[in-house]
Structure 1
Amino acid sequence: MEALAVRLSGLDPYVDGAIRIVAFYDTLMRRRVDLPALARASAGLAECVAGIRLHGTGRVIRVAADGRAAADPSSGPSSPAPAFTTVPITLDEEEIGTVWLERPGAPNQLDEVLLERLALATATAVERYGPARTTMADPALVELVISADSDEAARARALRLLGFTPGRPVQVLAVRSRLPLDRIAGLVCPGSTVKAAPLAGVGAVLATTVDRTRFPEGVRAGIGSAESPDRSWRQARTAVRFTTPRRPVVHHDDLGAVALLARVGDQALRDNTDIAAIARIAGNPEDLETLDAYCATGSLRRAAELLHLHHSSVARRLEQIAKSLGIELTEHTGLVRASLALTAWRLIHDDDIF
């Protein structure tokens, strides 16, 4: 093989340079260098600023050709911006970051080769020095973690393989969305280990921390407690069934006794007269939205504010809805009945959300 490489390099200077770059990075990988060392070596080889960025952690490494940390170009005197040549870093078929060169002037013809090898070496280093920063995981491993049938030894081993620290609490989320699951998981679990996999039409996300304020629009999510992964998964699947457009993210602990509705069979719910009455008005989106706003606020004026309508218009609608339901909505017990019936009706139709 070495003899063939020598013969090829003699035919074309480009091939000679490419072979030398490949050999350069092969040596770095054999020496098991870390990310800063990779960036320094790349900057020295390219004779310009080299950069590495990991999406999962937001970590950025920029090194100048002399091996020092590169100054932010935006903080210096006004000058033409360097040309960037970028290549994605992929691990397990997922893009986990990018590498680039900041070369003044036109790119070198070997820059692409250098960056491809840098990207490969970076992915190898990420996998070697700690949990892989990929978000998507093997569904079989995730299922082993959250299954009630798994023994604790198998669960602990699966968590280690996924990159979680032994003994550290893990929360499980059940997610419904048309957005990519890895993007959602990365947004709501910034700077911490997070793994996700699609399971039976629902996205399962395992995380050590969750920021409930970072869910993007169009996502429904249920969050379980951090007691045990299998219990957390059951709770998350229950909680996601209680999500609504006004309440797209629900923590199981916040449901309290209402969570017991999820244990009632669908047929028993359909047979209830209050729920059957909700089903009759469900064909009118305006009525359903008005009732939802009133149940959510318990106030005619606050419901009107939510709906951006005059309170007299909302009052007329509620009067008609009350007649259709056969429930006196202005009374406390009537409001409770309507709220429970609306929630139960949604549980029956929770599969129709997406």
Structure 2
Amino acid sequence: MEVLAERLSQLDSQAGGAIRVVMFYDTLMRRRVDLPALARASAGLAECVAGIRLHGTGRTIRMSPDGRQVSAPPPPASTTVPITLDGEEIGTVWLERPGTPGSLDELLLDRLAIAATAVVDKYGPARTTMADPALVELVISSDSDEAAKARALRLLGFAADLPVRVVAVRSQVPLDQVGGLVCPARPVKAAPLADVGVILATTLDPARFPTGVRAGIGAADSPDRSWREARTALRFATPRQPVVHYDDLGALALLAEIPQDASRDNTDVAAVARLAGNPEDLETLDAYCATGSLRQAADRLHLHHSSVARRLEQLGKTLGIELTEPTGLIRVRLALTAWRLLDD
């Protein structure tokens, strides 16, 4: 390949050179090369830095004529050509030639773009976790038509016949690391969207979410419905239960539909809100609501059950709820959950 590139770079005849450029890329495509190899060969042929970028993955490949990857900030491209697939622009190829563009640069980039399209169409985008937020938003938006969603999913690397799970994430851990952990062996894409991170995956392991992450997992087959469910589930996530499946919420999901003003005006919710300034009281109430048992709450709090009993007695008086009665336990569970959903 290097010998052929050297011969082509010495051609004087523009017509002959054009034919040989076409033959050069035909040979590369028959060899089934990947995108880095395409960029490397193109840089050698053009005798300047050649670049390839896919919008869907955000990955940029820049190769110098000596075959090495370039890490220095790129200068303005001398010539650019879009990569298109099914009428959609999915990326760009370019040359970084100092001075005036060469006479065959445009043809070279046209053939490089065609070759890059063939690689993406056959093998899909190069594996990466972070994706273009615009494509992710297109997939999960309720305003997008099905054809647009299908194109966006294909550009993100997902097969058309596989359902995609949607996860809403708030995390102190970088989003790409979270995606790689919960879905280490299958396609996974992630992108920040407004105040929350989005993860798209065909399958995931909820047990692999790292410490410091809160996540809501949608259940619907449709990505836009799954996104709404994931956002709702995320609102229910707590330090005690950082990962919430929408399916596991059941009727509790209805609490997310209650107007916040109505929740604030509720007597039980207002009483819980007044406890929020005392972390010890709130922790005791949370442990009791989570277990439904005085002794289990004591174990969770690492206290003697008599100490917890005294706390619950005092909390019941403060809240105006008999906590040891089944009805009282239901009331305080609902009130605590509704309070956590306020302003979330």
TM-score normalized by the length of structure 1 = 0.66
Aligned: 1:197 with 2:191: yes
Contact between 1:136 and 1:182, CA under 8 Å: does it hold in 2?
yes
Give the secondary-structure state (helix, strand or coil) at the position aligned to 1:198: strand
Equivalent-residue separation in structure 1 for 2:328 and 2:301 (angstroms): 21
Q: Name the counterpart of 2:261.
A: 267
The change in CA–CA distance for 1:328 and 1:34 in structure 2 (over 3 A counts) is same
Q: How many residues align?
A: 263
Give 1:1-354 correspondences, 5 Å limit.
31-33=31-33, 116=69, 129-350=123-344
Equivalent-residue separation in structure 2 for 1:34 and 1:195 (angstroms): 21
More deviation in 324-333 or 154-163?
154-163
Contact between 1:169 and 1:226, CA under 8 Å: does it hold in 2?
no
Q: After superposition, give the CA deviation of every residue in 1:138-184 in whole Å (9 maximum; x if it has no partner).
A: 11111111111111111111111111101211110000112111110
Q: Name the counterpart of 1:46.
A: none
The residue identity in structure 1 corresponding to 2:168 is: A
The residue identity in structure 1 corresponding to 2:230 is: A
Instruction: Tell me the percent identity.
Output: 72
Q: Name the counterpart of 1:64.
A: none
State the Cα distance separating 1:279 from its structure 2 match: 0.5
Equivalent-residue separation in structure 1 for 2:174 and 2:60 (angstroms): 13
State the Cα distance separating 1:193 from its structure 2 match: 0.9
Give the secondary-structure state (helix, strand or coil) at the position aligned to 1:290: helix
Equivalent-residue separation in structure 2 for 1:145 and 1:130 (angstroms): 17
The change in CA–CA distance for 1:95 and 1:333 in structure 2 (over 3 A counts) is farther
The change in CA–CA distance for 1:250 and 1:95 in structure 2 (over 3 A counts) is farther
Equivalent-residue separation in structure 1 for 2:186 and 2:33 (angstroms): 23
State the Cα distance separating 1:227 from its structure 2 match: 1.6
The change in CA–CA distance for 1:321 and 1:209 in structure 2 (over 3 A counts) is same
Equivalent-residue separation in structure 1 for 2:240 and 2:331 (angstroms): 20
State the Cα distance separating 1:126 from its structure 2 match: 8.6
State the Cα distance separating 1:94 from its structure 2 match: 6.0
Equivalent-residue separation in structure 1 for 2:258 and 2:220 (angstroms): 25
State the Cα distance separating 1:347 from its structure 2 match: 0.2
Contact between 1:126 and 1:133, CA under 8 Å: does it hold in 2?
no
TM-score normalized by the length of structure 2 = 0.68
State the Cα distance separating 1:30 from its structure 2 match: 8.7
The change in CA–CA distance for 1:141 and 1:333 in structure 2 (over 3 A counts) is same
Q: After superposition, give the CA deviation of every residue in 1:192-240 in whole Å (9 maximum; x if it has no partner).
A: 1111111111111111001011000010000001421010000000000
**5+ unaligned residues in a row in structure 2: which ranges?**
11-26, 38-52, 71-115
State the Cα distance separating 1:189 from its structure 2 match: 1.2
Cα-Cα RMSD: 3.5
**5+ unaligned residues in a row in structure 1: which ranges?**
7-26, 39-89, 97-112, 118-123
